Every structure is written in structure tokens, then in C-alpha cells.
Chains A and B, each alone.
Chain A
């Protein structure tokens, strides 16, 4: 008697199936959005690297000017 299978009656089975279908569709949409965000993030990272390069270049030039103004005999 303990091993007898017990079942639960599922009301509104069609509604549950429709709900699951909608959830799957939303999950697909979220995946697509995450892919787009990843693309934007990598693009942003590239721009930030450009910024970093530009700042380094400016820093070097400022140092050069500073040295040439403060110690002109070395140049």
C-alpha cells in the first residue's frame, strides 16, 4: 500500500503549457538582450582602451615639455 503511485490532478493544464511557452520566449528575449549588452560592453572596453592610450601619450608629451623647460641643458 505504501508503494502505490499517487497522482495529483492538474487543473488548467493548457494554461500551464501556455505559461511555460511564454516563459521560454521571455528567456530567449533575455538571452538576446544579454548578447547585445555584451557587444556594447566590448565596444565600450575598446573605447576605454583608446582613452587610456591617448592619456598615456599626453602624459609623455607633458613630461617631455616639463623636462625641456626645467632642464634645457640636457636637450
Chain B
């Protein structure tokens, strides 16, 4: 026996609860029980919609099209410029992000933090090497000045006698 030939169970009607209206916790949807219901007549509805009895007349029995009004404003074509498009999202709407993407972003942020720490260390090393470079440059300048003075004194000794 398959599903198609299975004998259907006989459904017994479910008994509805018999609850008295005067029950203590009964639902009370309307506070204005005693007020008479407002009845909207068809004439009132037509008047509210601005439709008179003339407008609701039956169509022409000969099947002719009614005349089009001539003083209609020209139709405007929808603008196709990209700047004129409405934004996809209102600024007040909440934005949701998939958890997988959110985790990826968190991982990227961690890597960025690590890179920044490494760059900070490199910066410290560069400052140190810059300081050493300056110190060595001063040493070299002093040495060259020394050589220059010695050469001048040798020149004096050799050519002034």
C-alpha cells in the first residue's frame, strides 16, 4: 500500500469552546458598543469620490469612444540620468549584514590592526636608524674637517720654508 491508496482517517469535528460572552476575560475589541453603526450610503460615497450621476452614466450604446479632453498637460518622460535616480535605501532604514560577511570584516579589521602595529615598530626602527645616520654623518664631517686641517698644516710645512 502506498501513499495514494492509504485509507484516510475519518476526521471528527473538533468541538468549539462554548464561552459565555459575559466571561471575565472575554475580548472586548470595541469600546463603543452602544453607539449605532455608521452607515455609508452610496450617494455619500459618490460625493466623497467626486463622482456625479453624470459621470456614472452608461456607455454609449453604439460603442463609440468618448472624446479625449484637449487641455491635458504633456506627459513627462522619466529621467534616465544616473544622478537623478532615487537612492536605493532611506537613511533611516536599518541595514543588515550577513553573518559570514560580518565575520570576514572582523577578520580584516584584526589584520589591519596587526599591520598597523608592525608599521609602528618599523617606524620606531626608522627613527633609530635616522638618529644613527645623523650621528655617523656628523662623525664623517668631523673627520673630513680634520683631514682638511692636517692637509693645510702639511701645506704650510712643505711650501712656506
Contact = CB atoms under 8 A, between A and B. Distances in A.
B97 A10 contact: yes
B102 A8 contact: yes
B96 to A, nearest CB: 4
A40 to B, nearest CB: 12
Interface string B106-143: 00000000000000000000000000000000001000
Interface in A4-61: 5-11, 13-14, 51, 55, 58
B104 to A, nearest CB: 12
B99 interface: yes
A8 B151 CA distance: 78
B34 to A, nearest CB: 46
Interface of A: 5-11, 13-14, 51, 55, 58, 62, 65
18 contacts: A5-B98, A5-B99, A6-B98, A7-B96, A7-B98, A7-B99, A8-B102, A9-B94, A9-B95, A9-B96, A10-B94, A10-B96, A10-B97, A11-B94, A51-B140, A58-B147, A62-B147, A62-B151
